[in-house]
Amino acid sequence: MELHIVIDGDKDLVEQVYQQIRVAIQTGRLTVGEQVPPSRLLAQQLQVSRKTISEAYTRLTIDRFLTGEVGVGTFVNAATRSQPRRFAAKDLAASATLKNWLSRSVPLHHLEPEMRSAFDFVGGGASKSHFPIAEWRQCMLHGLRKSHADSGFYSEPEGLPTLREAIARHTAFSRGVQCVPMDVLVTNGAQQAIDLIARVLLDPGSTVAIEDPGYPPARLIFSSQGANVVCIPVDAEGMVVELIPDGTRLIYVTPAHQFPLGMPMSAARRKALLKRAGELGAIIIEDDYDSEFRYEGRPTDSLQSMDTDGLVAFVGTFSKVMLPELRVGYLIAPPSIRKAVTIAKHLCDWHTPTMMQWALAKFIDDGYLQKHIRRCHAMYASRREKLLSRLAGDLAPWLRAIPATAGFHLTALTTREIDIPLLLKLARRADVGLYATDVFYHLETPVQSLFFGYGAIETLDIEPALDRVKTILTEIA
């Protein structure tokens, strides 16, 4: 790669080279430890004498911007510090819009690994230590070979046919979803699927109904489109359907495992929701984020499988089942919006990386995904039982679990008044990561409760973590 230096005229050539390399180092364009081209090569590139480059390098070395290693080369000196580029302040025409974006929160932002507690009940994290890395490596190599064979061409916005077929089979098997491969759109996580639906359905002022408490990123996606977001309370059966207002265009729900409280939507409430959507002509986003893991009771039908009017858009993700870093999700779109969301996907990022798609398709087709789900199911069930046992036992004077049948988090209501901020602070000091649910409420009054994610915490860590929690609760009581 050539070093970008522009020579203007024939005067002060050494000074021109010196100043441009110095500025490149100070602004961070050339990073610490990066090797600069040999003087002979850079002289050929700039069509100047080698002496010019050598003199410029010598000055930069004297000024400690560069350092030379005999027989190795010349490198950016570690002693220099990169400085951000400075601009004169200008009033932008879009300043009000930018201010609006800057005022938005970034919810559910996970801490960096080094900042997490030793015993952390963070939600949304899967168990990395049990992921079949050897099998996934084989699949990634397969994806690399397939991508290399097709190198030089963009892929379909909808996703690779082989992955769409695999997803259609997987969702039919695990959730009873009724679809064919052409209904499937591969996305960069469930977040993108929700965003694409919002893009094609919402205008400024459009009404969207969401659960409250609920998933904050979905609410913020809809409001960023200028929608009128109406927060609908939930009860023991799920979203209170009769409160969905007239004129609603889009409804967002998590029926299999309500986020964050955890209870499933009842069959009667599901039927009522479908009926109300039919009256409104509204699309329902069914966010099925972690229901592959079910522990008790009979399986319930997905909204999508009960839909007779083509109004349910089923959104799923592999981030919860496999690893969050994969960022692969999918949308099973009803015919009415399928073409529109495909166009939006094409304009947004063209397509999800094909190497990852080939790898995931093989991972599903070779049976690795189902084996991984079964293995994790047993592990998560054990962790869940430990939590429930303690919540019903020695932690019962303070906490009561909300019944949940799926996923890998549960929520516990407080049974007496507790200083939650103090509890979280003291728990963090004791190296236990606890989380309150108040961040998931928007307009409804938050109910005092704690959110226990048990996907990322190791099974053997749950008991000692809860022992510390009990000690703190006893002290602050």
Q: Residue 107: is its pLDDT beyond 90?
A: no
Q: Residue 106: is its pLDDT beyond 90?
A: no
Distance (Å, whole) CA 189 – CA 201: 19
Q: Residue 383: is its pLDDT beyond 90?
A: yes
Q: Residue 300: is its pLDDT beyond 80?
A: no
pLDDT band at 154 (very low <50, low <70, confident <90, very high): confident
pLDDT band at 110 (very low <50, low <70, confident <90, very high): low
pTM: 0.86
Walk me through the domains of the chain, giving residue ranges and CATH numbers. Answer: 13-76 (1.10.10.10), 113-128+371-476 (3.90.1150.10), 135-368 (3.40.640.10)
The mean pLDDT value for 267-287 works out to: 97
Answer positive or negative: Cα dihedral of 3, 7, 10, 13. negative
pLDDT band at 4 (very low <50, low <70, confident <90, very high): confident
Q: What is the pLDDT of residue 86?
A: 74
Question: How far is residue 131 CA from its own chain's centroid?
Answer: 18
Q: What is the pLDDT of residue 434?
A: 94
The mean pLDDT value for 214-220 works out to: 95
pLDDT band at 85 (very low <50, low <70, confident <90, very high): low
pLDDT, tens digit (0-9, with 9 covering 90-100), for 409-425 = 999 999 999 999 999 99
Q: Residue 471: is its pLDDT beyond 90?
A: yes
Q: What is the pLDDT of residue 296?
A: 80
Max distance between CA atoms of the chain, in angstroms, equals 84
Q: Residue 1: is its pLDDT beyond 70?
A: no
- Comparing 123-137, 389-403, 449-463, the range with the smallest average pLDDT is 123-137
pLDDT, tens digit (0-9, with 9 covering 90-100), for 432-456 = 999 999 999 999 999 999 999 998 8
pLDDT band at 228 (very low <50, low <70, confident <90, very high): very high
Q: What is the pLDDT of residue 217?
A: 93
pLDDT band at 387 (very low <50, low <70, confident <90, very high): very high
pLDDT band at 80 (very low <50, low <70, confident <90, very high): low
Q: Residue 173: is its pLDDT beyond 90?
A: no
Q: Residue 267: is its pLDDT beyond 90?
A: yes
Distance (Å, whole) CA 437 – CA 261: 8
pLDDT band at 381 (very low <50, low <70, confident <90, very high): very high
Residue (of 308, 265, 309, 267) closest to 286 by Cα position: 265
pLDDT band at 113 (very low <50, low <70, confident <90, very high): low
Q: Residue 298: is its pLDDT beyond 80?
A: no
Q: Residue 469: is its pLDDT beyond 80?
A: yes
pLDDT band at 81 (very low <50, low <70, confident <90, very high): low
- Comparing 48-52, 90-94, 248-252, the range with the smallest average pLDDT is 90-94
**Percent of all residues in the chain with a pLDDT value above 90, rounded to a whole number:** 71
Q: Residue 192: is its pLDDT beyond 90?
A: yes
The mean pLDDT value for 273-286 works out to: 97
Mean pLDDT taken over the chain: 91
The mean pLDDT value for 255-280 works out to: 95
Q: What is the pLDDT of residue 84?
A: 66
The mean pLDDT value for 8-37 works out to: 88
Q: What is the pLDDT of residue 203?
A: 95
> Angle CA(415)–CA(420)–CA(423) in degrees, nearest 5?
105
